[in-house]
Amino acid sequence: MSALKFKAEHPMFQYRLEEVPPDLTEWISSFERLLVLGFGGSVLPLRIFVESAGLGEKIICWDRLSRPPFFAQKTLYCVVSKSGETLEVKALLRDLLPDLGPDNLLCVTDPERGALREWQTQNSFRSLPIPQEIGGRFTHFSVFHRALLESQGISMSALLDRAKKKRDALMKDSSELEEIADIFFKPQAPPCFALWAYGAAHEAFAAWAQQALAESLGKKDSAGRRYGKLPFLLKGPQDQHSVLQYLVDGPQNQGLWLMAPKPEVEPPWESSSKIPKFLQTLSGQSLSKIEWILAESTYRSFLESNESGDTHSPLLRWSFSRSLEEMTEKIVVIQAFVEAMGQSWGIDAFNQPGVERGKGIARKLL
């Protein structure tokens, strides 16, 4: 493939945000928990920050079509839909409506138009805008996320600075982007690849990357030529017990992109009780170290199999910590890859016509 050129032309690469009004930050901070209702790009970018910061019990991202739990006290419900027409969100909002009001509802939607914005304005609910020029799957650095994270003492300014530095580095040297393209996106590469993630934060990142890569790059160009490779999500170590056998001895029609945490420095596991003999090999090993061992052994097994010729799966390993800073850098890499790959293929990586068609059919079926 020809070299990819990353130009940072899309507005999201400005990484510039307005400040959150102090009274709104104080109001959000007064709640014991925050429940975010949304689907796809309304929650996947946020979940990366939530899991990386260990805030999963404080900020609950709800993206399933079942009634969310209602907590009688001290819970802020954040309803997120850019158009206000997301069917799943409307259905959940309908079921929760009797319990919601100005004291526990935050609407996050288009700044000017749409059904949710109109309803919010009529009822004087508090609200925050979703940027008009940025699609939901790329709204990691939005004023809504800033409000939630800063209410928990996390500096969004520091993350924005980190994103800018990574953007500038990729504009000077796009080798990271070219590596992804060469392994998974060249014409002769398999039609799909697994995003195999270990740990909650990396699983959240991989789930978003799946959306970003599939929804952005699965397209037709102006001549009707089809492009894209299908990413699918695997969770480790769980899927070592379900899918690994297929990947090793199956038809070899997929790539493998491992995303695993670096081993964390933490006190070794200790117990005052006597350890049974069959557990003694684990003495002194923390759970995070064992997780790293499982991820590393999976990677090395495929590396050795590829080198011996027993398997021939395109293989890439990303080893990075769950820190907000490193997650931010990896987010920028995926964002940059989407823009550069889309331009290389001559497609619009920032629309989603296939999704819109399905939404229209769903509305007609109501």
Phi, psi for 114 (deg, rounded to 5): 110, 160
Lowest mean pLDDT among 68-72, 114-118, 350-354: 68-72
Q: Does one domain contain both 150 and 165?
A: no
- CA 343/CA 337 separation, integer angstroms: 10
Q: Does one domain contain both 274 and 297?
A: yes
Question: Are 61 and 38 in contact, with CB atoms under 8 Å apart?
Answer: yes
Residue whose tokens read 């995070």:
288
- CA 256/CA 299 separation, integer angstroms: 9
Beta pairing, strands 219-220 & 226-227: antiparallel
Asked if residue 334 is part of any domain, the answer here is yes
User: Which domain covers residue 15, as residue numbers?
Assistant: 11-155
Q: Does one domain contain both 208 and 145?
A: no
For residue 270, how many C-alpha atoms fall within 13 Å in the half-sphere facing its CB?
A: 4
For the cut 80, the answer to whether the pLDDT of residue 106 exceeds it is yes
Q: Does one domain contain both 85 and 221?
A: no
Asked if residue 4 is part of any domain, the answer here is no
Asked if residue 173 is part of any domain, the answer here is yes
Q: Does one domain contain both 169 and 258?
A: yes
Residue whose tokens read 């014409």:
187
Q: Does one domain contain both 151 and 163?
A: no
Q: What is the pLDDT of residues 39-94, one digit of tens each?
A: 999 999 999 999 999 999 999 999 999 988 767 678 999 999 998 989 999 999 99
Of 155, 176, 210, the position where a domain reaches its end is 155
Q: What is the pLDDT of residues 1-13, one digit of tens each?
A: 568 999 999 999 9
Q: How is residue 91 written in tokens? A: 């259905």
- Total count of domains within the chain: 2
Asked if residue 138 is part of any domain, the answer here is yes
Q: How is residue 135 written in tokens? A: 């699609």
Question: Are 82 and 114 in contact, with CB atoms under 8 Å apart?
Answer: yes
Asked if residue 6 is part of any domain, the answer here is no
Q: Does one domain contain both 309 and 329?
A: yes
User: What is the rounded end-to-end Cα distance, in angstroms, of the chain?
Assistant: 46
Of 110, 134, 155, the position where a domain reaches its end is 155
Asked if residue 5 is part of any domain, the answer here is no
CA distances from 213 to 59, 254, 341 (A): 26, 16, 10
Q: Does one domain contain both 29 and 167?
A: no
Question: Are 231 and 292 in contact, with CB atoms under 8 Å apart?
Answer: no
Q: How is residue 325 written in tokens? A: 């800073």
For the cut 80, the answer to whether the pLDDT of residue 337 exceeds it is yes
- CA 25/CA 146 separation, integer angstroms: 9
- CA 260/CA 233 separation, integer angstroms: 13
Q: Does one domain contain both 115 and 168?
A: no
Q: Does one domain contain both 134 and 173?
A: no
* pLDDT (mean) for 168-185: 97
Return the DSSP state at 261.
P
- CA 273/CA 338 separation, integer angstroms: 53
Q: Does one domain contain both 187 and 60?
A: no
Q: Name the residue among 122, 133, 32, 39 with its Cα closest to residue 79.
A: 39
Lowest mean pLDDT among 70-74, 157-161, 172-176: 70-74
Angle formed at CA 124 by CA 64 and CA 139, multiple of 5 degrees = 45
For the cut 80, the answer to whether the pLDDT of residue 113 exceeds it is yes
Beta pairing, strands 315-319 & 105-109: unpaired
Q: Does one domain contain both 191 and 131?
A: no
Q: What is the pLDDT of residues 225-254, one digit of tens each?
A: 999 999 999 999 999 999 999 999 999 999
Asked if residue 26 is part of any domain, the answer here is yes
Q: What is the pLDDT of residues 267-276, one digit of tens each?
A: 665 665 677 8
Task: Sort 156 into a burial class: Cβ within 10 Å, 0-12 / 13-18 / 19+.
Answer: buried
3-state secondary structure of 83: coil
Q: Tell me, what's the pLDDT at 334?
A: 98
Does this model's pTM top 0.85?
yes
Asked if residue 58 is part of any domain, the answer here is yes
Of 128, 155, 182, the position where a domain reaches its end is 155
Q: What is the CATH number of the domain that holds 185?
A: 3.40.50.10490
Lowest mean pLDDT among 37-51, 207-221, 291-305: 291-305
What is the pLDDT confidence band of residue 281, given thresholds at 50, 70 and 90? confident
